[in-house]
Amino acid sequence: MDGNRTSRWRPGWTLLILMIFVALTVSDEAARLTSDAPVQFTWNQSLLGAIDQGGPEPEDAEFASLLANDVQELAAVLSSDSGPAVSLGEIDILPAGDGETSEELPVDAVTLAAGVEANAQQAEQAAEEAPEPEKPAVLTHVVARGQTLWDIAKIYGIHIDTIVAANGISDPQRLQVGQELTILSIDGALHTVRTGDSVWSIARAYQVKTQDIVEANNLSDPSSLKVGQQLLIPGAQAVAAQRYQLIGPNGQLRRAFDWPARARISSRFGSRWGSMHYGLDIAIPIGTPVRAAADGRVTWSGARGSYGNLVIIDHGQKVETRYAHNSRLAVKAGDTVKRGQIIAYSGNTGRSTGPHLHFEIRYRGTAVNPEKYLVP
C-alpha cells in the first residue's frame, strides 16, 4: 500500500517541479524581450514550501530541495553583478552599470543644442584670432660673393624665372657682387603701369584674374592707377607671360624676342663697308618661312626701297621689328600677328647681295643690336 502510494505521488510531484521550471523559463524569455540588460533569477522559497499535494515522501522532499538548489546555482552563474533581480511574477530592472547605456534614458535636447552652439562660437572665435596671411611684397636683395640665382631663389622660396623676369636679366650666369635684385615674395611678375593701362588690360596681358591683382596690391580704387606705379602680378602664369614682355620694369628692352629664322649669320649689326648696318642678316634660302619675333600689329607690308619686300610690326611701347628682302608676303597692314606666326617667305629683293633675311629691332625710333635681345 505504501509502495503504491509512493509510486503514484512521485510522478505528480515531479510534474509540478517541471511546470515551475517552465514558468521560470517563460518569464526569463519575457524579461529578455523587454530589456537588453541581463537578468537574474531568484526562487521564491515560500512558494515552493507552500505547495502541498497531500504530503510528499521524504525522498520527494529531498529531490525537490536538490532541484531547487541546482536551479538556484544555475541562475547565479548566468546572472551578472550589475544585472537586475527577477522574482516569479515580477521583474525588477535595475539601472545599467558603468559603461552601459540604456535606451530608456531620455536625450537632453537642450544640452545637445547648447553644446553645438558652443562649438560654433569657438570655431568663429578661432577664425577671428587666426593671423591674416601675409600680403605679397617686393624686396631688394644684394648679391653676395659666390651667390647664384639658384641660391637666391632658394632663400626666398621662389622660382628662378621670377627673379629673371623681374630684373630683366639677359644672362642668368653673370651676376655681379653688390648687384641689387628686385625680389618678389611669391612667384609672379612685376608690372610698371604705363599710360592707358587698366587693371583689366593688365590682367588680360598676364592671363590672371583682376581680383588677384587687386588683392595682391591692396588697391582700394582699382580705377585710379598711376603711371609708373609698380604692381605685383601673382601666379606662375604671370612669370611665363612676363618672359615675353619686351620692356622691363626699368624701361629698357629685354631679351624677349624670338628668332625670325634660325641659320648662319652672314652680317652683324654695326659698321660695314664704311656705313652703318642697322640690322642682322640671316643667310637662308629663298622661300624659307619668316616668323614674327613677338606679338604685334602689322603697320607695313609691301615694297619699300632698298628693303625690297618689307614687313614692319608694331609691338607697342614704341618697339617695332622689320623683316626685309622677302620674296613673298603673308600678311597685310592692319593684321594682328602672334609670336612665331609666319608673316613672309625669304627672298632676294631690294638691295641685296644674295638670298637672306635682313632683321631689325627699333626702340623709340632707334635701331638696336638684335643679338642682345633675341632669346638664345
Dump pLDDT digits (tens) for 209-256. 999 999 999 999 998 899 889 899 998 777 877 778 898 777 889 889
Q: Confirm if 249 and 166 have CB atoms less than 8 A apart.
A: yes
Q: Confirm if 239 and 187 have CB atoms less than 8 A apart.
A: yes
The pLDDT of residue 342 is above 90 = yes
CA distance 232 to 104: 65
End-to-end CA distance of the chain: 132
Give the per-residue SS3 of 240-302: HHHCCCCECCCCCECCCECCCCCCEEEECCEEECCEEECCEEEECCCCCEEECCCCEEEEEEE
Q: What predicted TM-score, i.e. pTM, was given to this entire model?
A: 0.51
Report pLDDT digits (tens) over 67-114.
Answer: 566 656 655 655 544 444 444 444 444 444 444 444 444 445 555 555
Superfamily of domain 264-372: Glucose Permease (Domain IIA) (2.70.70.10)
CATH of 139-242, one of 4.10.640.10, 1.10.15.40, 3.10.350.10, 3.90.1150.10: 3.10.350.10
The reply to whether 139-242 and 264-372 are identical in fold is no
- Which residues have a Cβ under 8 Å from the Cβ of 163 and sit 6 or more positions away? 149, 152, 153, 169, 181, 183
Residue 63 pLDDT class (50, 70, 90 cuts): low
Work out the number of other CB atoms within 10 angstroms of the CB of residue 209.
12
Work out the number of other CB atoms within 10 angstroms of the CB of residue 348.
15
Region 169-179: mean pLDDT is: 81
Q: Where are the domains of the chain?
A: 2-91, 139-242, 264-372
Which H helix or E strand runs over 320?
A: strand 319-329
